Chain A
C-alpha cells in the first residue's frame, strides 16, 4: 500500500506540469519563463481553498500566498505545492517591482536581520522608502528556509528584468551558496530555478565559460541526491553552455556520462531532446537525431510563447529530414508561427526536392548569414551531396539509358570522369539500381523490381503490428486506479487492481517467454 500514494502524487505532478508552457530556449530574449495568465487562473480555479479570490490582483498577496504554499510543501514533503507556487512566478514576474519586493521582504524579516538589509540593498535606495509601518506591523516570521530562498529568487528575477547584471551575478552567487549549504529535499524545485537564473545572468553578461565548474559540481551533487528537477535543469544548462562555445565534443561526453532523469518535466525533456538531436546530427547519426528532434517538437507546448524554441527545433528537424533523404511536409512551412523564420529553409528544401544544384548554391549564398546565425551552416553544406543524389535518382527514373556526358551536363558537374565516379558511388550506396558501361560511356538503369516479390512488405507489416501491440501493452501498464474511491465498492477496486496486476505480470512473463523462444529457435 505504501507504494501507491507516492505513485499517485507523481502522476498528479506530471499532469500539472504537462500544462506548463515551454520557455523560449534559443532566442536571446530575456523573457524566458513566461506563462500565459489563464494558466494561473486555472490553478486558482482548481484549488479554490488555497488561493484567495483577491490574490490574483495584488502581487503582494500573491507572494504571501506562495509563502504559505512553500511552507506547506516543506512540512508535508509534497513537491506539488512548491511546483504550483513556482508556476505562477511567470505571471507574477510582469507585476514585480522594487516597491512590492521591498514590502514583502519587510513583511518576512525583522528590521535588523542581515537578510533584509542585503535584499533591500540589492533593490536600490528608493525601495527602502516604500516600506510602510503596516508592513513592519504585519511581520510574520517563517521558520522555513524555502521562503528565504524564494525571496532571493524573486529579487534575482527583478534584477534580470532591470538588466542589472553585476548585482544579479553577485546575488545569484550568494543564493547558490545558500542553497548548497542547506541541502533540503523540499528546496529542490526552487534550487532548479535558482540555477536557471544564475546561468541566465552569466549568459546575458557573456561570461558563460566561468560557471561551468560550478554547474558540473552541482550536477554531481544533484545526481547523488536524486534531485530530478535540479539535475535535469543543470544538464540542460551545461549543454547550452557547451553549445554556446560550439564544444560539441564535450557536450557529447557529458550526455554519454549522465542519465537524464526519467521524471524530469516535459519542458526540460524537450530541451534535452533538442540538444541531443543536434549532437547526433553533427555526428552524422541522422536517424537517431530525427527521433530526438521530433520528440522535442512534439513535447514542446504549442503556443506563441514558445515560438523561439519551436522555430529552432523545426529548423533542425527540416535539415535532418533532408539529410535523411526525406522531404518535409509542405504544411509545416505554412504554420503562422513558423512561416517567416523557416523561409530560407523552405527554399533549400525546394532546391533539394528537385535536385537542382545551381539553385541550391544560390540559396545557400543568399541566406548564408542566417544559416550561420542559426549554427546550421555546416549541416546545410552537407546537403549538397543529397542534391546530387536526388538529381541522379531523377535521371535514373526518367532514362533507361543515358550517356555519362549528359549526366554531367544535367547535374552541372565538372567533368565526365567525375560523373562516372559519382554515378558509381550512387550505385554502391543503393541510391539507384543501374550499371555503367565504361567502354561506351553510358549508364543503364535496371528494370524496377516488384517490391511485393521481396520480403519488404512483411517487414513493414511486422513493424506496424509491433507498434500497435506495444501501444496496447504500454497503456495497460500505465493504467492507474484512484486511491480514495468513496462511491465505488472497495472490493471492486481491489479486484480491478488485481486484474491489472496480473495483466502486467502476464505481459512481463510473456516478454520473457518470447526471449526464451527466441533462444530456442
Chain B
C-alpha cells in the first residue's frame, strides 16, 4: 500500500474518531487496515536517519488513536501493544513535534500498570518521565499520587481521586483498581479487627447496599452473625507453634560435620 493511501485512511480514521460519539467498530476496522499498511512500510521509520517528519507524525498519530481506542473498547493487551510501539516515537525521535496526547497516554499507561499491580514496571516507567512534567503535568501527577496513597494505605484518597481524573479514559482503569483496593482493605481488616459491624464494614469497603456486603463477606469466608449484625474474622492467635525438630536435627548434624572437618 502506498503512502498516499495510508494518509487517506488515517484522515478517515481521524474524522471518524473525533466526533462526539465515534463508531468504535468502524474505527477498529480502519485501525486494523492501517496497522497492516504500516507494517508493510516499516512504521515509516528508516534505518538511515532520513526520516520524513510528516510521515513519522502520521504513524504516531495513528498509534495514539489506536491506544485510546483500545481503552474505550476495554482491551488492555491491545493498549499495551500500542504503548510499546509508541515508545519509539516518544523516546528515539526527538525531532518530532511534541504530541499533545503524549503525557495523557503515558499517564494512562502508568495507571494501567498500577491497576494490574505491576508496581515494579510502574516505577520503571516513571523513571523515564522528565522532571518538569513529573511535577507539573496533571496527567502524570494523578497516577503518582494514586500510587502513593495506595502504598500508605490512604484508600479513602484513592476513592475520592475518581472524581479528579484528568481524562475520561482514566476511569476505566480506576474501576479496575477499585476491585483491587477492596480486596486490600478486606485483607487489612481481617488482621486489624477481631469483629466489625456489617454496616461499618460496608462504609470501609465503599459498598452501599447490604446485599453486596453479604456477598463479599461470603467470598472472603467471614463468619457473619445475623443477630448482632457483625462479621467475625478468623484469628490465628490460638494456633499452636510446634518445635521444628527435623530442622534442628538437620542443622546440628551440619554443625557437627563441619566442626569435625576443621578439627
Q: Which residues of A contact B (CB under 8 A)?
A: 209, 245-249, 252, 282-285, 372, 375, 377-378, 381-382, 384-385, 388, 413-415, 417-418, 420-428, 434-439, 454-455, 458, 462, 465, 469, 472-473, 503, 506-507, 510, 514, 517-518, 521
Contact = CB atoms under 8 A, between A and B. Distances in A.
27 contacts: A248-B127, A283-B120, A284-B120, A285-B120, A378-B134, A414-B156, A415-B156, A417-B156, A418-B154, A421-B153, A421-B154, A421-B204, A422-B152, A424-B185, A435-B193, A436-B193, A438-B197, A439-B200, A458-B248, A472-B258, A472-B262, A507-B261, A514-B254, A517-B250, A518-B250, A521-B246, A521-B249
B194 A510 contact: no
Interface in B114-146: 119-121, 123-128, 131, 134, 144
A517 B124 CA distance: 43
A252 B148 CA distance: 24
Contacts of A385: 148, 151-152
A425 B148 contact: no
Counting chain A CB atoms within 10 Å of each CB, the highest count among B154, B200, B204 belongs to B154
B131 A377 contact: yes
Contacts, number: 122
B191 interface: yes
Interface in B85-129: 91-92, 119-121, 123-128
* A-B residue pairs, 3 tightest by C-beta: A425-B153, A283-B120, A424-B192
A435 B126 contact: no
Nearest to B244: A455
Given A413-B154, A458-B244, 15 more contacts: A248-B128, A282-B123, A375-B127, A384-B152, A421-B153, A421-B156, A421-B204, A424-B185, A424-B191, A427-B191, A428-B191, A434-B192, A438-B197, A503-B261, A521-B249
Contacts of A248: 124, 127-128
A382 B120 CA distance: 12
Nearest to A375: B127
Contacts of B91: 245, 247
B188 A418 contact: no
B257 interface: yes
Given A247-B128, A435-B192, A436-B192, A284 B119 contact: yes
A378 B127 contact: yes
Contact of A425 (B152, B193, B246): B152
A138 B120 CA distance: 63
Contacts of B37: none
B138 to A, nearest CB: 17
A455 B246 CA distance: 13
Contacts of B200: 438-439
B257 to A, nearest CB: 6
B189 A424 contact: yes
Interface in B161-209: 184-185, 187-194, 196-197, 200, 204
B253 interface: yes
B157 interface: yes
The secondary structure that dominates the A interface is: helix
Given A283-B120, A428-B188, A388 B250 contact: no
Nearest to B149: A418
Nearest to B243: A455
Interface residues on B, range: 35 or more
A455 B184 CA distance: 29
B155 A421 contact: yes
Contacts of B192: 423-424, 427-428, 434-436
Nearest to A385: B151
Contacts of B123: 282-284, 378
B19 interface: no
A521 B253 CA distance: 12
A237 to B, nearest CB: 19
B11 interface: no
Nearest to A377: B131
Contact of A517 (B148, B193, B197, B253): B253
Nearest to A422: B153
B221 interface: no
A70 to B, nearest CB: 38
B241 interface: yes
Nearest to B94: A209
Contacts of A465: 255
Nearest to B203: A417
Contacts of A414: 154, 156-157
Contacts of A417: 156
A454 B156 CA distance: 37
Contacts of A427: 188, 191-192
B29 to A, nearest CB: 32
Contacts of B250: 517-518, 521
A506 B262 CA distance: 12
B261 A421 contact: no
A277 to B, nearest CB: 15
Given A372-B131, A378-B123, A469 B258 contact: yes
Contact of B196 (A425, A438, A454): A438
A216 to B, nearest CB: 15
B251 interface: yes
Nearest to A455: B244
* From B124, B125, B192, B196, residue with most partner A Cβ within 10 Å: B192
A372 B119 CA distance: 21
Most buried by A among B121, B155, B157, B191: B191
A282 B124 contact: yes
Given A510-B261, A521-B246, A435 B194 contact: yes
Nearest to B195: A438
B57 to A, nearest CB: 20
A507 B257 CA distance: 10
A506 B261 contact: yes
B131 A438 contact: no
A435 B190 CA distance: 10
A507 B120 CA distance: 40
B261 A282 contact: no
B188 A425 contact: yes
